[in-house]
Every structure is written in structure tokens, then in C-alpha cells.
Amino acid sequence: MSQRGKLSLDFSEIESPSTTPTTESPRRNSQITQSKLIFPDGVSYDNFTTDNLIERGMIGSGSFGSVLRMEHIESHKIMAVKRVRAHDIKRSEKERVLRELKITIETQQCEDVVRFYGAVFQDGDCWICMEIMDCSIESLYKAVYKQGSRLPENVISFIAVSVVRALNYLKKQHRITHRDVKPSNILMNSKGFVKLCDFGISGYLYDSIARTQDVGCQIYLAPERLRGGTYGIKADVWSFGLSLVEICLGRFPYPPWASVFEQMQSVVNGDPPILHIDDGYSYELANFVNLCLVKEEAGRPTFEHLTTEPFYIQHNIVNQEEMDAKRAEIGKYVVTYVNAEPTEA
């Protein structure tokens, strides 16, 4: 294997997004350049380069580049590595990568967010090394329904509480709105962890309002976002509620739309989807989900409010021993339906 020189940042012409809504000057990207790998157990590896990695398969790909399953040679740690091309992507894509990298680093105190291990830059490409998960809740529910079953309420409640914790943490601690909440961005593993990922279009809130208009996955957008007006954290609440209905029913709750205009007519002017107790779930779960899908933003709760709902309080585990036991239970369920190989980026 050829030896490469020390890696350096090649995105110097782009400034990373500001972390706060103050007048503080944005930091230069070179300050987030890293050549150290740090794992959750505290073990670190200095002078980390891409030569220290062995590719073990593809996880996924997109317009940004690819996500690879890779092994760190010295520690034998398997991780997900997002390799972002620098030379053939737009400036906006580069900014999105830097935003994701910055927010992922900032949110490492939350165990409901995918862990960041380090980032290096090689020949202008950015390699983001992160915790590898086994599946998304999208691939999980599809595997379950394919076998003629459905997600049990104890699994759905654990997912719901974990995601509310993560999104409420983003809002309270960092004034961040995710803006792309959907089943494929909520990951799970065989250890029973549920984690939020993909902060590429996340944005900072100014007076509880998102100032930029980056578009998330179109079909999960809240009515106020489709209208094109201002929006805040409650837009994420809508996307979260829609995701919960989907994994409960085993399908996206709206019929297919032929056009964006048809989508706007349906979401903005039509009735919101509802989870009924006739669908086989409890009144408490149905009520919790339906609160998230109040069409008018003013009547929709925040994530902070959702933490006061009886359903959340009932399923929010605060005792570590109980949490470990619950994660072991959820992990066994995941293994039942998902292969050991990760299925989602």
C-alpha cells in the first residue's frame, strides 16, 4: 500500500456555518481538520490517514460520493466512512458536508446521535469516520412487514422516545433543527441503540425560526414548509409524526402523488393522516402520533412539550440498568429481521 503525505483540508475557500446566532465570526474550515481518530472508549490514534483503513464493502452512495464499510487496521474497529468528492461537486454540496461534519462533532454528548470518530482530507476529498449501525427503521419495518408481521408497540415506543430525546437535545442545547427527519435517517443496531443521523441540511434557529430554506426529503415536509413561509422546530415534529405513522402502518400514509402541486393540495389543504386504535395500537400511542400531525403549526407541539406527554413519560427510561435491559431486548428484535451487514448509510 502506498504511503501518502499528511492530509490537509482542501475546502479552504468555503467558511463553515456559524455555530451560534450571534455576531461571532465564523471559524475557518482548517480548524475542524482532523488527523486523529478517537473512539468512545477514549482510545485515540494520532496521525490517522486513509492508509490506516481497509475497505470492507459498500453501504451506500449519493450525489456527494459514497459511504463505505471500513476497518481501522490497528484497532480492527469497523466503521462507516462517508467519502465526499471535492472536485466534482457544487459549492453548496461542500457547504453541506462541512455543516454535517460540524454539527456531528458538536452533538457528541447525546447518545441518541450517531457517534463521530474523526475526519481526514485526502487529495481534496473529505473522509468522515462514524459509528456504523445495522439498519434504518425504514429497512427494519419493511423487513418486518415483508414477513407478514408488523412492528410491535414496545419497539415503536422505544424508537419514538429516542428520537424525541435526540431532536429535543438539538433544539435545547444547540438551537438546531434537523430538517430531514424521515425513517431512513433514524438508525438502529444489534445493541438496541436508536440514533439520528444525516445533519447535512440541518440549520440553526434564530428566534426559533429557521432562516435558510434547504429542502429535505420532499414527501416528509410539513405544510408550512410546502407553503414556502417561515418555519421552526415544529416542522421537524410533523416529519417525525409522519415517520411514526409510516412505520406503524408499514407504508407511507399518503397515496402516491403525481406532482408537487398534487402533494401541496393533499398536505396543505387536505386532512392530515391519523393513526387509529383500529390499526392495532394503543390509544396512548395513537394520541401521541396524532399530536405531531396537527396541520396548523400553532396547534402542533414542540419536542419539549412531547416530553411531558403521558406516552413519553411512560416509556422514557431513566434508570441505566433498566435501559441496558431494554436495549438488549430491542437489539434481539433487530437481529431477528436484519442481517449483520449494515443496510443503510
**The CATH fold of domain 29-130:** Phosphorylase Kinase; domain 1 (3.30.200)
Asked if 264 and 319 count as a contact pair (C-beta separation under 8 A), the reply is: no
pTM (two decimals): 0.82
Q: What is the model's pLDDT at position 330? A: 97
Q: Return the number of other C-beta atoms located less than 10 Å from residue 143's C-beta.
A: 17
The top-scoring range by mean pLDDT among 7-11, 68-72, 289-293 is 289-293
To the nearest whole number, what is the mean pLDDT of the chain?
82
Give 144-147 contacts, CB < 8 A, sequence gap 24+: 144/250, 144/337, 145/250, 147/337
Q: What is the model's pLDDT at position 19? A: 35
Which of 27-36, 107-116, 195-204, 278-287 bottoms out in mean pLDDT, i.e. has the lowest?
A: 27-36
124-130: average pLDDT: 85
Confidence of residue 40 (pLDDT cuts 50, 70, 90): confident
Q: What is the model's pLDDT at position 82? A: 86
Q: What is the model's pLDDT at position 155? A: 98
The string of pLDDT tens digits covering residues 138-195 is: 999 999 999 999 999 999 999 999 999 999 998 888 888 888 899 999 999 999 999 9
The string of pLDDT tens digits covering residues 67-122 is: 899 999 999 999 999 888 766 666 766 676 777 777 777 778 889 999 989 888 88
The CA–CA distances, whole Å, from 127 to 53, 83, 101, 170 equal: 11, 5, 10, 24
d(CA 246, CA 264): 19
Active-site residue identified among 112, 134, 180, 236? 180
> What percent of the chain has pLDDT above 70?
79
d(CA 180, CA 208): 17
Which residue carries 416529519 as its cell?
239
Does 340 have pLDDT greater than 60? no
d(CA 285, CA 303): 15
- Same CATH fold assignment for domains 29-130 and 135-337: no
Is 82 annotated for ligand binding?
yes
The string of pLDDT tens digits covering residues 180-237 is: 899 999 999 999 999 998 765 444 433 444 444 445 458 999 999 888 878 889 999 9
The domain defined by 135-337 carries CATH number 3.30.420.40? no
Handedness of CA 144, 149, 150, 155 (dihedral sign): negative
230-252: average pLDDT: 95
**Quick check: is 236 catalytic?**
no
| Per-position b or e across 286-314, b if 16+ CB within 10 A of its CB | bebbbbbbbbebeebbbbeebeeeebbee
Domain ranges of the chain: 29-130, 135-337
Backbone angles phi, psi at 146, to 5 degrees: -65, -30
